Amino acid sequence: MTLLDMPEATVVLQERFLSEVQALSLLDTLLEDIAWEQHRVRLFGREMPSPRLSAWHGDPEAVYRYSGFTHHPRPWTPHLLSVRAAVERAADTAFNSVLLNRYRDGQDAMGWHADDEPELGPEPVIASVSLGASRKMRFRHRTHREWVSDVALGNGSLLVMAGSTQRYWLHSVPRTRTVHDERINLTFRLIAPPRQERTLS
């Protein structure tokens, strides 16, 4: 386990969370089993197809709003439940949902963002399992913009972001010409139940 050297963040990488064989077999299963969709994202007021495929699974109440859209979860599958159990043990945290992202090759990517939606709470623990092709995740501090940190997310790795990471840092998965193979990433999250609407009488 490696604690990344990033001020005002807690990011831990476990490179061999799953064995190579386990990770590749899970990759194949998820490529088959998951109803992959191209979500739409709203960026600078413009709506466009997201540059990757995604799926949202979890407990029924784990409704998630991001990039201007609301996602209702599909139910857990047996494979997702068994990865969740292992991830919960490793991160010592309970999760009620998982966002799956599928990067078909190096042209699929994820832009700069933080996982800081209100329903995740102020200091969310986000646990991220990577399968298949290794891709670079890049972190950049929000105010000290010259502080950057790159981490290779290889097949079978687990990256846990906790504490103030989302408050002070952004992260992205840049496009690359050198990767031609599939990668799936699963980010486990704990979504707080929606707050009761208050009606004023």
Question: Could you give the C-alpha distances from 158 to 87, 113, 189, in angstroms and in order?
Answer: 8, 19, 14
Interaction of residue 83 with ligand AKG, rule CB under 6 A? no
Interaction of residue 173 with ligand AKG, rule CB under 6 A? yes
Interaction of residue 187 with ligand AKG, rule CB under 6 A? yes
- Candidate residues 185, 188, 190, 191; the one interacting with ligand AKG per rule CB under 6 A: 185
- Candidate residues 18, 53, 98, 99; the one interacting with ligand AKG per rule CB under 6 A: 99
Interaction of residue 41 with ligand AKG, rule CB under 6 A? no
Long-range contacts of 118-124 (CB under 8 A, 24+ apart): 119/63, 119/64, 119/65, 119/191, 119/192, 119/194, 120/166, 120/189, 120/190, 120/191, 120/192, 121/190, 121/192, 122/167, 123/162, 123/163, 123/164, 123/166, 123/167, 124/161, 124/162, 124/166, 124/189, 124/190
DSSP at 119: G
| Binding to Mn ion, residues 99-138 (CB under 5 A) | 115
Nearer residue to ligand AKG within complex by CB, 59 or 115: 115
Interaction of residue 30 with ligand AKG, rule CB under 6 A? no
Under a CB-based contact definition with an 8 Å cutoff, are residues 138 and 184 in contact? no
- Total chain residues near ligand AKG (CB under 6 A): 11
Interaction of residue 97 with ligand AKG, rule CB under 6 A? no
Least distance CB 145 / ligand AKG (angstroms): 19
With tokens 């496009």, the residue in question is: 175
Interaction of residue 37 with Mn ion, rule CB under 5 A? no
Structure token pair of residue 79: 């494979």
User: Which residues bind to ligand AKG, rule: CB under 6 A?
Assistant: 99, 101, 110, 115, 128, 137, 153, 171, 173, 185, 187
User: Which residues bind to Mn ion, rule: CB under 5 A?
Assistant: 115
